[in-house]
A and B are shown apart, each in its own frame.
Chain A
Amino acid sequence: MAFKKSLGSKVFDSFNIVFLLVLTLLCLIPMWYTLMIALSDKAAVQAGMVTIYPIGFNFYSFQSILGDPKFFRSILISFERVIMGAGITMLILSMAAYPLSKTSKQFPGRNALMWLFVFAMLFNGGLIPWFLTMRTYNMMDSILGLALCGGVPIFNLILMTNFVKNLPEELEEAAKIDGAGPWRFLFSILLPLLKPVLATVLLFTLVNHWNDFFQGMILSTREESYPLQTYIQQLVVSTNLQSMSQMSVEQLNRLSKMNNDSLNAAKVFIAMIPVLLIYPFMQRYFVKGITLGSVKG
């Protein structure tokens, strides 16, 4: 089939490979670059000399992080929040997806509930009513608050519901004949079959909780309750953006002498590691989970 490729076809293939590899590098380089900054000498970083390899290679940044209790506190908060949030979400969504996958004949009221969920997914009261409600619930400075404040991740719930609907109905009939009740069926038969979609939803939930800075920012009344991303946002992003708009270039230069970009890069790099460790291994699941769960008639 492929034995007589035209010249144009070969040229295209080579161009294609090169182009796609460049795109790939474009997605990998920022992370590589952060690591290089973290491993470089502070002065070289400030002079803008560091590009794709470290200059003045050293581990000072990573060493000095070890003595930074604020950083570790925020990591701890993030971990607690991710575990609590993902645990609650997975349990509640798995329990809800099964009854919602029934037809309205098998479970009267199912359609109304489904519409209620969809409505809440598409419409919300906006930021301020949400914030005031959270404050009324006393969700400030609390890890439980961070775990719950986003509400039900309805898109994920629908993804799971559709996945369950795609399974053959005979499964449940067979289980019933063998005497399994709904709980037994849910936990012993259904959940193991939902592996791809559970992995997908778990990944999305973990990443969402890990990556959130905003809820962490407005639900914290003091620095001590910042999760990691909020901590980095305040330390690196917010400081930089504010100083840019308020200072002259000379002032900025003076400030940057005091900032430690290398140290900041090390923190940013550490914040990326959990994501790097998780998603590549979930890849085959989430590709399957997305494509199967999102298209259902």
Chain B
Amino acid sequence: MNAPATSFDAVTVTILPPVARFNLRIAPSDLAAASQAFGLSLPTKIGQGEQNADRGAYCIGPDEWLLHAAEADQQAIVAAFDEVRANTPHSLVVISDRELTIGITGPAAAELLSVACPLDLSRIPVGGAKRTVFDYAQVTLIRDGEDAFRLEVWRSYFPHVHGLLEVATRELALGL
């Protein structure tokens, strides 16, 4: 995919291709049923993540998970959870179109994010995720590597967040 990218040597900002996203709410004691339906053992602690091939699961609240999968698998996952619902009450909401993902990679990735993200980014473990704010827009920040992040933004906030990142990238490139 020819994703629009803004970059200089130290950091690259890309708009990533769409994925299937779900918001799962389930009692932590029923987590095993959800793990089985999704085919990935869901993390139990807020901020932790679990990944396997194109599946990803991130714990973002005491009973709330963000699930990622390939776009083509969306219907199958919804069907799998429908079967679980008979015995285990939960809520699975498809939020694929609610958000866009921005990829931020490069040695200056954390520095770029710190322009508008108040978190101490060094404390987010690789593979972890956190819901937080980016200049007043609510985002989910996923850390894929020491200097690789994904930022999930609601589409209505996207022009603002992406615009800010572009401006900040140019500032970093100029050494401001």
Are these two chains actual partners, yes or no? no
